[in-house]
Amino acid sequence: SAPAETVTVHGDRPAPKFDKRIFGQFAEHLGTGIYGGIWVGKGSRIPNVDGYRRDVLEALKAIRVPVVRWPGGCFADEYHWREGIGAPSKRKVKINTNWGGVTEDNAVGTHEFMNYSEMLGAEPYVSGNVGNGTPSEMAEWVEYMTSPSGSSLARERAANGRKTPWALPMFGIGNELWGCGGNMRPEYAADVTRRYSTFIKMPEGQKVMKIASGANSEDYTWTDVMMREAARAFEGIGVHYYTIPYDWKHKGAATGFDEDQWARTLVKTTKMEELIARHAAIMDKYDPGKRVALLVDEWGTWYDQEPGSHPGFLYQQNSLRDALVASLNFDIFARHTDRLRGANVAQMVNVLQAMLLTDGNRMVRTPTYWVFDLYKDYQDGIVLPVEVQSRWYAKNQWVLKAVSASAVRGTDGVVHMGLTNVDPNQPATVSVKLEGVTGGAVGGRILTAAAMDAHNTFDTPNAVVPVAFTGAALAGGTLRVTLPPKSVVMLDIL
Ligand code: AHR
């Protein structure tokens, strides 16, 4: 029978590249995101490289993490960098007032984070403290990290074990200044951003993208005021949007949900499209040349934390549903690469929509990890616009297109095409028209499972993993693809 769905790939209309920074991660001092997640300390029985857990390091390298944002989040606007340098035993022990009230011994500080970024081959995106720090504290931190030699701060860095400066390509001027970063009004935040930005100075020959604290989801006034009053002070501005099935009080469970929750979660994810479009349109008013980048520097699912887990640690399971949240977001991001040049999933390990979960010396890759793996060849590739004609998938009042797609000509010359079927019950038969794309062979991988909430546990770590996909056939410029229910497929067209 004739395919019900049609996807047209426009290889003849290349769009701006899918900046690799869109695959950014976020690692906050929150729960076991840092301690136990990436860092166990040199003396640990858990296999480690200079204190960094080896399994996590290797898993992250395999998905080519391009950017890590640190140290927060809310943590950033109470973080004093001097407390995290020098002999570990002499570092200040603080209370993590944002996340669970636990002690923070500053074992991971500037050196540990910046060195980790280098080990990963990722760009560090460091967020400064605007909330309760001073402009000079921020300026000195930047100097400490970047000054080649000569100054007292450069000498201090060398004495602490690092002679050559680190590269600092991205720097955040605070986080959520409308909330945990200081509860500011946008007019005040714009002035504060201008002030702090003034004193962030880079040594000759080094460049940093200064990123303003962006809006809370649909707070368009925030973006408007920041762009109108302060755009000259930054090269990027964020926006944060979390997928929450219900509301902040009762968010919904990470597993054990029904189809209504499946559908509402995916519909709420697609709100990202409208958010990016509307924030970008406001930016166009003040910056038609698109000098300033938009970065979704926090995104992901936020559920009720796992029963029995430490309050405030935001530890949640991650299922096939999260995998589809990720693939839908990547498709949306691909449609906005003229303005969207960065994103950071919240968060990298053990927190919210994590890539990896750890428990003692055990680690699992989540379904979300596998989507980052499937899509990794999008990094810095040229976006090829796609048009999707699809039937609707509906459950109760939750309605969205059954098929979502995006395509990129990778830096390897191969066309990579992500296809998602959100319908948990019906397969989708898709006819893919390739315009301006010549390809003779199609390979690919698929991520799916029998249950909507299928997930990987420490005992069954490979319940949801990609396998070779054999449901595509190419004939005369048209691809016939059969997507099983609730699946994510990545095709490579050679
Ligand atoms: O990612 C968890 C928290 O969510 C971050 O610290 C904060 O920026 C946001 O509200």
Distance CA(110)–CA(70), nearest Å, equals 10
Can you give the pLDDT at residue 4? 81
Do 316 and 349 fall into the same domain?
Answer: yes
Do 329 and 367 fall into the same domain?
Answer: yes
Can you give the pLDDT at residue 454? 98
Q: What domain range includes position 120?
A: 19-379
Do 341 and 436 fall into the same domain?
Answer: no
Query: In angstroms, what is the C-alpha Rg of the chain?
Result: 22
395 CA to middle of ligand 1, Å?
30
When pLDDT is averaged across residues 352-364 and rounded to a whole number, the result is: 98
Do 351 and 395 fall into the same domain?
Answer: no
According to DSSP, residue 376 is labeled G
Q: Name residue, tokens 């951003």.
A: 193
According to DSSP, residue 428 is labeled E
| Inter-residue long-range contacts of 33-37, CB under 8 Å, 24+ positions, other chains counted | 33/347, 33/348, 33/349, 33/350, 33/351, 33/354, 34/108, 35/107, 35/108, 36/350, 36/358, 37/348, 37/349, 37/350, 37/351, 37/356, 37/358
Which of residues 331, 364, 379 is at a domain's end?
Answer: 379
Q: Which residues pair with 404 in a beta bridge?
A: 420
Distance CA(448)–CA(283), nearest Å, equals 38
Residue nearest to atom 2 of ligand 1 (CA): 73
330 belongs to a structural domain: yes
**Looking at the 3D structure of the chain, how many domains does it have?**
2
pLDDT digits (tens, 9 = 90+) for 255-308: 999 999 999 999 999 999 999 999 999 999 999 999 999 999 999 999 999 999
Do 445 and 484 fall into the same domain?
Answer: yes
Distance CA(418)–CA(447), nearest Å, equals 11
Which among 240, 242, 313 is the best mutation to test ligand 1's pocket, defined by most ligand atoms within 8 Å of the CB?
Answer: 240
| Ligand 1 first shell, C-beta below 6 A | 28, 72-74, 175-176, 298, 346-347, 352
215 CA to middle of ligand 1, Å?
12
28 CA to middle of ligand 1, Å?
8
Which of residues 327, 346, 379 is at a domain's end?
Answer: 379
Do 95 and 124 fall into the same domain?
Answer: yes
**b/e sequence 423-444, b meaning 16+ C-beta within 10 Å:** bbeebbbbbbebeebebeebeb
298 CA to middle of ligand 1, Å?
7
> What's the Cα-to-Cα distance from 476 to each of 31, 235, 432, 435, 441, rounded to whole Å?
53, 45, 11, 11, 12
Question: What is the number of the ligand 1 atom nearest to the C-alpha of 347?
Answer: 1
Question: Beta strand 442-447 with 487-493: parallel, antiparallel or unpaired?
Answer: antiparallel
Q: Which helix (H) or strand (E) holds 275?
A: helix 271-286
ipTM of the predicted assembly exceeds 0.90: yes
14 belongs to a structural domain: no
Which of residues 379, 395, 421 is at a domain's end?
Answer: 379
pTM of whole model > 0.95?
Answer: yes
Can you give the pLDDT at residue 2? 55
Residue nearest to atom 9 of ligand 1 (CA): 73
pLDDT digits (tens, 9 = 90+) for 297-334: 999 999 999 999 999 999 999 999 999 999 999 999 99
- Centroid of chain to Cα 276: 15
According to DSSP, residue 4 is labeled S
The token pair that represents 201 in the structure block: 């100075």
E-assigned strands of 105-150? 123-127
246 CA to middle of ligand 1, Å?
18
> What's the Cα-to-Cα distance from 380 to each of 16, 92, 342, 409, rounded to whole Å?
9, 41, 11, 9
Residue nearest to atom 7 of ligand 1 (CA): 73
Q: Which residues pair with 359 in a beta bridge?
A: 362
Which residues, other chains included, contact 460 with Cβ-Cβ below 8 Å and sequence gap of 6+? none
Which residues are designated catalytic?
A: 176, 298
Can you give the pLDDT at residue 1? 52
Which among 175, 213, 216, 315 is the best mutation to test ligand 1's pocket, defined by most ligand atoms within 8 Å of the CB?
Answer: 175
Which among 180, 299, 303, 348 is the best mutation to test ligand 1's pocket, defined by most ligand atoms within 8 Å of the CB?
Answer: 180
Question: Do the Cβ atoms of 199 and 256 come closer than 8 Å?
Answer: no
Do 408 and 475 fall into the same domain?
Answer: yes
Residue nearest to atom 8 of ligand 1 (CA): 73
Of all residues in the chain, the percent with pLDDT exceeding 70 is 99
Can you give the pLDDT at residue 478? 87
